[in-house]
Amino acid sequence: MKPNTNNTLLYSGDQQKATIKKSQFAKDVVRGFSRKPKSISSQYFYDEKGDKIFQEIMNMPEYYLTRSEYEIFSQQRKEICVAFNAFDEPFNLIEFGAGDGYKTKLLLSYLIENGADFTYYPVDISKHILEELSESLQNELPGIKVRPLNLEYFSALSKLSEINNRRSIILFLGSNIGNFHINSAGGFLQRIKWYCKEGDQLLLGVDLKKDPKIITRAYDDPHGITKKFNLNLLSRMNRELGADFNIADFTHHTFYEPVLGEVLSYVISMKQQLVSFKSLDWEVNFDEFELIHTEISKKYGLDELESLAKEQGFKVLEHFRDTKKYFVDSLWELK
Ligand code: AVJ
């Protein structure tokens, strides 16, 4: 196959297309690498290796997000659960992107100790992490009703709306909403609404705008862990799509743009090079210093967050912030 020097994608007939069809990952890579700038969805960070590197990120002193939200839950869980109105009737507690449940367990244990009647539905696309979570919950909070859903968010919501008509409280924590541009965040909230009913609630964990230096350090860390997290995308393509990325020829760049409140992350090709994807029978060119956009991590002002809620038809019930005001868990109700 001829080198692909103008960013158009090279296919080699029907056999080829069938191979690409096999995996959503392959399809998304081919699509994303045909854009300008090239891009890849940040959801692909989280294979088993990426999950581990993300744990390392959360343990870095510079990555304040996890600790801030942990502080909110440990100091204000009573107020949060009261605002949930959690002690009157049975409800569904649904968590999108539950991960290891480190912070959520603070809420779960409080709810259980105080006799709330609920079923916890952790939703995650990583089967591996869901299995670990359910096992640790059975050990640490015996008697908890857990139904893990290894589904994409909206398939999970649609499934739940078929199962029962209890009130639902949806947790979307850890500033995961920051992976959407503000406009797509609106679309995401609309889709949530589609499956929900009046009185359902949403607890949204959101990283707030703050001193840009603090934000920059959290994503451009001196340990090289965030770099490793980004470059794992290339290793994952090597492992799963038979690509031959030479990781040492790529680096990572991230910066914070404080007006929009966006951290933008990129992988950069440090020389002109061709990378071939053996299992896809496909090659792609990278120019010297060409960028692959890998992630957006959007930070909000409280005012921005309130207008987002209003525009999308939610009522803001309460903002729970940490003592440094770095992070907010914002409780919304569907009108
Ligand atoms: C898991 C999406 C909240 O954007 O802060 C951490 C992922 N990326 N360091 C974030 C991440 C780089 C994280 N979220």
pLDDT (tens digit per residue) in 133-162: 999 999 999 999 999 999 888 888 888 888
- What is the per-residue pLDDT for 22? 55
Residue 60: name the closest of 173, 231, 220, 252 by CA: 220
Contact 46 CB / ligand 1 (< 6 Å): no
- What is the per-residue pLDDT for 13? 39
pTM (two decimals):
0.91
Is residue 8 pLDDT above 60, yes or no?
A: no
Contact 174 CB / ligand 1 (< 6 Å): yes
- Cα of 69 from ligand 1 centre, angstroms: 14
Question: What residues pair up with 273 in beta bridges, in sequence order?
Answer: 286
Residue 195: name the closest of 334, 75, 48 by CA: 334
The tens digit of pLDDT for each residue in 260-306 reads: 999 999 999 999 999 999 999 999 999 999 999 999 999 999 999 99
Mutate to test the pocket of ligand 1, among 297, 326, 327 (most ligand atoms within 8 A of CB): 297
Hunting for tokens 């029978």 — which residue is that? 281
Mutate to test the pocket of ligand 1, among 153, 179, 221, 267 (most ligand atoms within 8 A of CB): 179
Q: Mean pLDDT over residues 116-144, rounded? A: 92
Contact 99 CB / ligand 1 (< 6 Å): no
Contact 297 CB / ligand 1 (< 6 Å): yes
Give 49's Cβ-side CA count (13 Å radius): 14
Is residue 131 pLDDT above 70, yes or no?
A: yes
Contact 47 CB / ligand 1 (< 6 Å): no
- What is the per-residue pLDDT for 5? 36
The tens digit of pLDDT for each residue in 215-230 reads: 999 999 999 999 999 9
Whole-number Å distance between alpha carbons of 70 and 85:
21
- Collect contacts of 140-143 with beta carbons under 8 A, ≥24 apart: 140/105, 140/109, 141/105, 141/108, 141/109, 141/112, 143/112
Looking at ligand 1, which atom is closest to the CA of residue 65?
Answer: 5
On the 0-12 / 13-18 / 19+ scale of CB atoms within 10 A, 54 is: buried
The tens digit of pLDDT for each residue in 36-76 reads: 999 999 999 989 899 899 999 999 999 999 999 999 999 99
Is residue 18 pLDDT above 70, yes or no?
A: no
Contact 176 CB / ligand 1 (< 6 Å): yes
Looking at ligand 1, which atom is closest to the CA of residue 54?
Answer: 6
Average pLDDT, the chain: 92
Is residue 254 pLDDT above 90, yes or no?
A: yes
Contact 175 CB / ligand 1 (< 6 Å): yes
Phi, psi at residue 142, to the nearest 5°?
-55, 140
Q: Mean pLDDT over residues 86-111, rounded? A: 94
Q: Mean pLDDT over residues 106-114, rounded? A: 97
- Cα of 163 from ligand 1 centre, angstroms: 32
